[in-house]
Amino acid sequence: MIILTGGAGFIGSCFLATLNAAGREDVLIVDSLGSGQKWKNLVGHTYIDIVSKEDFRDMMAIGGLDEDVEAIIHLGACSSTTETNADYLYDNNYQYSVDVAEFAFEHDVRLIYASSAATYGDGSLGYSDRSSDLRPLNMYGYSKHLFDQWIRRQGMEGACVGLKFFNVFGPNEYHKGSMASLVSKAVGQINQNGYVQLFKSTDPAYSDGGQMRDFIYVKDVCSVMMRLLNQPDVNGVLNLGTGVARSWNDLMGAVFAAMGRETDIRYIEMPAELARQYQNYTQADMSTFQAVLPDVTFGSLEDSVADYVNGYLTREWPYL
């Protein structure tokens, strides 16, 4: 059995689809469906059952799990960079992850967990996944950094995989609201208004829309996680981006091209609260990743955006 926390969420549900495509249906999902539309991510996919995070923590604590657990893919977390309840993030993102890791290590279970590029803060200290001296800009990033540090303090970096996701986009993210990718939001803006809005730059080193990110397609992310599930000898805290930074203008240009429209970008002021914690540039240092998985390649930004826009966002049923 594979346990998939956050299995109804964005990356989790896409990975469930990847597992099903590989013939794996023995998946226990840990998640909360709430009152929104997240349940749609699970339609058409096969799994054993869904349990809540609270029940799962109880099951780990009192022995309510099948002994034949092969792996835990731990993606469940609050991913909001604007969440201000530090106590909630400490328990939900850090302490919960500690509970999962302790169970996995005690029972010799393969553990793959989600970290984040938000751990790098403004990037002034670089983007090396070997670095532990980081300064996150928000509590979300700090909660992820705390767990990466816990793994290292336990000497367990060689017994699991932590993936520092960069800017992931793709199907099944519609339910994330303000945290959904700009690709998802832009298609709606363009269909409604004919143009898209980007924040003006607050840093003279970057032009308006010239701020850069390492964008990676969720299908590439899931392909990597499947490789790691099947290669338990590959471990460590690893960056997972493409290793190539592209601008927001590039991203929006790819969206307009995929929709067959002329690019029309209009720039608006960035809110002061966001400007204080804004990353103007991210690019994954992929040297550690390439050393252990040298044959992995990623789709181009343009091809990935075209697949997302035309394969999902313009369909009546836009889910993977």
Active site residues: 140, 176
Question: What CA–CA distance (Å, rounded) separates 193 from 312?
Answer: 20
Contact 284, 241 (CB under 8 A): yes
The residues, ordered by sequence, that sit 6+ positions from 213 with a Cβ below 8 Å of its Cβ are: 166, 167, 245, 246, 248, 251, 279, 281, 282
Q: What is the arrangement of strands in the sheet containing 27-30, beginning at the earlier edge strand?
A: 49-51, 27-30, 2-5, 71-74, 110-116, 161-165, 236-240
Q: Which residues of 92-125 are buried (b: 16+ CB within 10 A; e: fewer)?
A: bbbbbbebbbebbeeeebbbbbbbbbbbbbebee
How large is the greatest C-alpha to C-alpha distance in the chain, in angstroms?
A: 59
